[in-house]
Every structure is written in structure tokens, then in C-alpha cells.
Structure 1
Amino acid sequence: MIATTKIFGAIAILLLLSLVDTSSAQESGVPPEAYPQGDLGDPENFLFEVNAYRLKYAKENNIPFMNKLTWNQSLAYNAGSISTDFSVRRIGVRYAHMTDYRDVEKRIERRLRDFKMIAVTAHPFDQYKDSSGDELELLIPFQSQIGCIERSRAERSLLCLLGPSDIFWTPLVNRDYRRGNPGTRCEPGFENENGLCATVKKTKSLRPTPAPVSPDLRSHEAQHPANFDLDSVATSKFSGCFFVITTIFVWFK
């Protein structure tokens, strides 16, 4: 009986350590490495390409308040419990159905062309404001967070939730905004980061922030967020493992 109790205690400690590691990935604003990639593509590369297109779109339309999107794992979890479009609207965020994480730039441009063509004879804005513009949702300036989940048995396999805004906005219709250079009119709590409005970090890293690197060229170090202290993470994991091994040894001694 005592031996069984000790085994369960060791398992509980291991689970706690894994939870701490997961929370660190969530706070970094980058999709966790454990997130399914499979045939759907790479969510981290997807996020990089979306932000690159948001910056391009902000420059083309002189949008000075385009936010940078970061990954929010809570939104991804919420997406997993969504069953209908109505249930998305009830939680006060926008959503987008997508096929996968690949070729997002091409799909955004295709959606923009379709929107412009339909706008000649119809009013797609009225339709999308109460539902979803799918890839167009990735260009709404007010959004700063995104989380996606794979949906089985669905033609468009990904459901992404975007927040914090529940407003559909596009410069193709909303033309009365104050124009300016990208990143020059960020909301409180955001700061200009190479043309996009990024959330102000509460604690600044003592290490210099490296220049943005394309995912195709990034080194092993560049796969981690700029403010992610690799030395402290390695030390923490070593200390955690040493603690677990020592504890188990003492219990079974």
C-alpha cells in the first residue's frame, strides 16, 4: 500500500512539471511545439506569414493601428468546444474556417479578390459582420490574439478564434478611418514593432532582441521567442528532474 502511494506521488510530481512547461509555451505567444502539425502544416509558420501579410496590408491601406497577432492557447481550447457559429458569437470573438495552415497568403488574396468582385453587385460586408469572412478575419486590425484547433470530419479542417474584438472591419468598406504610417497610432498597451502594434511586454529581457527571421531560415535558437530565456529553462528542467529523481530514491530507499 505504501509503495503504491509513493508511485502515485511520483507521477503527480511529473504531471505538475509538464504543466509548468506547457504554461510557458502558452505565454510566449507562439503555438506550442506539441500542437498537432501533421498534414495541416506548421502553425508557427502560419502565424509568421499572417503577420507579414498584416504588415503588407497595413502599408497598402495606410492603417496605423494594425495589431500583431500572437497565439493564445485558451482560444484554441475554446475553439475545440464550439459546435455552431451562434455559439462563437455568444463568447464575443470572431472566427475563421480554414482548410489548413499552408499557403495563407494566396488564400487571403483570393478571398480579397472575391470580396471586391461580390461588392460590385452585393453587400458582403453585411453578411460577414454577423458571420465570418474566414481568411478576411486575419486582416482585422483590432485583433491581437488567435488560437486554432483541428476539426475532424470537416471540409475546412481548422477553426480559428480571434480576439479580443467581435467587430468585422475592412478598409474596403470602412473608409473613414484616420490614415497614417503603420504602427504610428497603436492603442494603449501596445507599441510599434516594425510597423505592427505589439503588446507591451511587462518585463523586458536583458538580452538583445534578434531581428525577425523567416521560419525557413531560422536557426534552432530563432525557433524560440525573443524573450524566452533558454538558459533559465534548461536550468529549471534540470533542477526539476533532479528533484523528482531524488524524491523517488528517498521514497523507495
Structure 2
Amino acid sequence: MKAFNVFIVILALVCLHATGTKLVRTTKEEYLKELNELRRDTAKKYRIPNMHKLFWNDTLAENSLVDKNDGLLVTLRQTWRDSDPLKEVRNLDFDLAMENRSALINEFKNSKFMSELEVLTPGQQEIGCIEWFKAPYFTYCYLVPDGTGNSWNMSQGEPGSACAQGFVNDDGLCSPVIEPTPTAHPTGTKFLRNTKKEYIKDLNKLRRDAAKKYKIPNMYELFWDNALAEASLTSKFTGLWKTQRRIWMDSDPFKEVRNLDSDLAFDNRTALMKEFGVSWFMSEIEVLIPGQQRIGCIPWKRKYDYDGFSVSYFTYCLLEPEGTGNSWNMTQGEPGSVCASGFENNDGLCSPARPTTPTPEPATPTPEPTTPKPKTPQPKIVGPKPTAPPKASRLGSDSESEPAQDSNQPTDGASYGQVGMTLLLLISMIF
């Protein structure tokens, strides 16, 4: 029992130190939800009255990608998160004890990184994160507006009881009366500005449009793969140029590198396949390879030098299962008309076939009830109803069998003995 209690205490401490989910493995919405649950639990455990609810800020995420950190340690803090394996750096019971609060504030002013405490700073209201591998961490975030840690300068109290004007208590967190609207799109970077669901939707629209324009009959629908996103983050390639391809996308400003009308013309198909065999990066064409079915992407800043010009990309992706470009070896045809077994045409893309509902067997027809033939009416009997003759008495026991009736036996049921007694009585009266 004692060991069980110790386990529960350890589990509680771990729950206050991490969300349990890497950003690369989830959505921004789910990640933010877990961060706010972490802040709410901390506010309740340590009686922090001014813990604010966090909201996602895409601009902060983009700034963290391009190292634009104006206001660092003044109105901005940075943090690395999601260590793997999970590593507990701070002792929250000690750090957040009221008697150690002054020392905590001084440490904030002199340190650029306070580990787990960064995401628990009460005054922070907005956060933007990117997938970023800096061992042992997998996530990098910017938070505003508290760059100094001064919001820790608050006595203990009921969670949510010391909210500024314009904020209300939301179960222990200070939440704005009017929630902020999503930030505008300043740079044109697509992946950082979209959910994974919206991003993959845009990519499939691009593939569908290309299939229809260039009559590609075997273009497959792409699906998101978190494992590929994490592999691209840690550079763990298992089949590069065999079963995998990689691509940098979302240039800013947008730069068209390939001429698709020339590259995808059927007359140039052989040359295209040869180029795939010797090139490790084919720019825009990478995401249009017909045979690709899965993709995983992360924010990634890279400047790529071409002949005579350079392009800055902001998204990095891995695609499977094709690493060679061999799916281009296909004659032109109706989009979606050459799909492998288990796939079906989905408006020009080969999508996994939907399970077919088995056709129910026809029910056994219920025989219609037959109308009974009407009985032939019997003639009506006039007069008294005839009565049945009285039954003869049984002389033997129930165990004895009844004798067979003689056809000459009187029909009134009288026995021979009764007839004989009547005759004897008449003779005696005469004589």
C-alpha cells in the first residue's frame, strides 16, 4: 500500500511537468488544451490566483522559426519542451513555495530558460510553438507578454481570483471576456498558418488539379502521417530514395522553380524519370509524384541555392511509399482510372475503397393466407332435435375389453336376459 501511495505522488508530479504529448504527434488545438489543463492544475495545487489562459499565436510560431525574438526577456520568453525521455528538471514544490517566491523572480530576471517553469508563468497569455529537435527536446515555443517573471510577484489565493480588468475566472484560469481572433498571415508560410487537416486538404486539391490538367490516371490521395513528421524532425530516414522522398515547400516569397507544363508533358516523361533517378530534390514536382500516399511535415527554415537564384523554404516533409519516381511510368488517361486493388476513383484521385455494405438476402416471402372454401349449407331440420340412444351399461370392469357388437342385437340396447324374463312372466300368468 505504501509503494502504491508513492507511485501516485510521483505520477502527480509528472503530470504537472509535462503534457504527455509532443506537438509533432498532435494538433495545435489539442496541444494548447493540454497546456491550459497543466496551468489550471498548477494554479489549484499551489493556489496561484492570477494564472492566465493561453491562446495560440501563429505569428509567435513563425517568429520562433526565423529567430525573430524582439522583446526577449522583456515581453517575450522562449522555452524548449517535450523532452524524450521525459526529464524533470525543476522541483515545483520547492520553486513555487511562497517563501521562495522572491528567489524565483530573481532567477527569472537572470536566466533565459527556466525549463518547466516557463510555460507555468502566470502572466503569459499567448504562445506559438514549432516542432524543433534540440536533444532532448522536440518543441520550441515563444510566450508573451511576461518576459521578466514579475507575474510571480503575487500572494497566494483562490485560483482565478486576481484577474485583471477584462478577464474572468474560468475554473481557476483568467480568461479574456472577448477571446482574441486568430492572427493575420504576414509571411505567406502555409503550414504554420494551417491545421494539418487544412494543409493536407490543400495538397490533395493541388494533386487533383494536376491529375485533371495533365491526364494522370494514377494520382493517389495523400494522408497525414505523424511518424513521418517526427522522422523528418529527427532526420531518421529508413528508405530515402527507395521508399521515401523529401521536399522543402512554402517558399516566402513564393518562387516557381519548375515549369510543370514542360515537365509533365507526356513527351518529356522519360526525361523526367531519368532526372528523378539522379536528383534528390525535384522542387514542386516532389509533392505531385502520383504514387505517394502518406506525408508528414514540420516547420523548417532552409535556404536552397539554384542556378542563379536562391529560395527560402519554411516547411519540410517526408513522403511515402515511393522513392524512385517510377509511378510516372504511366500513359495518360482519365484521372482516377488506374487505381490499385483496394482503391477507388475519388474525383480524380485514387482513394482507399470504402467498405461495401453486403446486400441483404431477400426475405422468404410469407405465404398469403388461403381463403377457406365456404361450407355447403345443410338443410335446416324442422321439429324436435333428435336425441342419441342411451348407452348400454358396461358389465365388466374397466380392465375388461368390450365384446364386439352383434349385428342382430336389438337397437334399443335391451339384453337377451330381459327378453327371457318377460316371456316367463307372461306364461305364469296364463297358467
Conserved 8 A contact 1:150-1:159: yes
> Which of 298, 301, 317 is residue 149 of structure 1 equivalent to?
298
Alignment of structure 1 residues 161-240 onto 2, 5 Å: 161-168=318-325, 177-200=330-353
Q: What SS does the aligned partner of 2:344 have?
A: strand
Shift in Å at residue 73 of structure 1? 0.6
Q: 1:139 aligns with which of 285, 288, 291?
A: 288
Computing the radius of gyration over CA atoms, which structure comes out larger, 1 or 2? 2
Alignment of 1:2-21 (within 5 A): 3-10=5-12
Question: What corresponds to 1:96 in structure 2?
Answer: 247
Q: Please give the alpha-carbon distance, in whole angstroms, between the structure 2 residues aligned to 1:50 and 1:157.
A: 16
* Separation in 1, partners of 2:14, 2:342: 38
Letter in 2 for 1:89: L
Q: Which moved more, 1:67-76 or 1:92-101?
A: 92-101
One-letter code aligned to 1:168: G
Pick from 102, 106, 112 the counterpart of residue 260 of structure 2. Answer: 112
Moved over 3 A (4+): 1-4, 9-15, 31-41, 99-103, 113-116, 123-130, 152-155, 200-204
| Separation in structure 1 between the aligned mates of residue 253 and residue 224 of structure 2, nearest angstrom | 17
1:157 CA drift (Å): 2.7
**Under a length normalisation based on structure 1, what TM-score does the superposition of the two structures give?**
0.55
C-alpha displacement of 1:129: 3.2
In structure 1, stretches of 5+ residues that fail to align are 26-30, 205-253
Could you say which structure has the greater relative contact order, defined with CA pairs below 8 angstroms and 6 or more residues apart? 1
Q: What is the CA–CA distance in structure 2 between the aligned matches of 1:159 and 1:170, rounded to whole Å?
A: 22
Of 199, 202, 215, the residue aligned with 1:62 is 215
Deviation, 1:153, is 6.5
Q: Which amino acid aligns with 2:202?
A: E
Contact 1:111 1:136 (8 Å CA) reproduced: no
Between Structure 1 and Structure 2, the one with more helix by share is: 1
What stretches of structure 2 of length at least 5 have no aligned partner? Answer: 33-56, 63-188, 304-311, 358-431
| Pair 1:124–1:194, CA change in 2 (3 A) | closer
What is the number of equivalent residue pairs in this alignment? 186
The Cα shift of 1:184 comes to: 1.8
Q: TM-score, normalised by structure 2?
A: 0.35
Q: Cα distance 1:82–1:56, how it changes in 2: closer, same or farther (>3 A)? A: same
Counterparts of 1:200 and 1:101, CA distance in 2: 37
For 1:81, the aligned partner's letter is: T
Equivalent positions of 1:35-50 (< 5 A) are 38-39=61-62, 40-41=189-190, 42=194, 43-50=196-203
Secondary structure of the residue aligned to 2:240 is helix
Q: Point out the structure with the larger strand share.
A: 2
Alpha-carbon RMSD across the aligned residues, in angstroms, is: 4.5
DSSP 3-state at the match of 1:157: strand
Structure 2: distance between partners of 1:7 and 1:91: 48
1:9 to 1:44, Cα distance in 2 relative to 1, 3 A: same
Q: What is aligned with 1:244?
A: none
Contact 1:70 1:144 in 2 (8 A): yes
Against the structure 1 CA distance between its residues 163 and 32, is the aligned structure 2 distance closer, same or farther, given a 3 Å change threshold?
farther
Amino acid at match of 1:161: L
Opposite residue 68 of structure 1, the aligned amino acid is E
The letter for the 2-side match of 1:162 is: L
2:293–2:321 contact (8 Å) kept in structure 1: yes
In 2, are the aligned partners of 1:67 and 1:142 still within 8 Å (CA)?
Answer: yes
For residues 62 and 56 of structure 1, the distance between their equivalents in structure 2, rounded to whole angstroms, comes to 10
Answering whether residue 227 of structure 2 is matched by residue 74 of structure 1, we say: yes
Q: How many percent of aligned residue pairs carry the same amino acid?
A: 26
Deviation at 1:137, TM superposition (A): 0.8
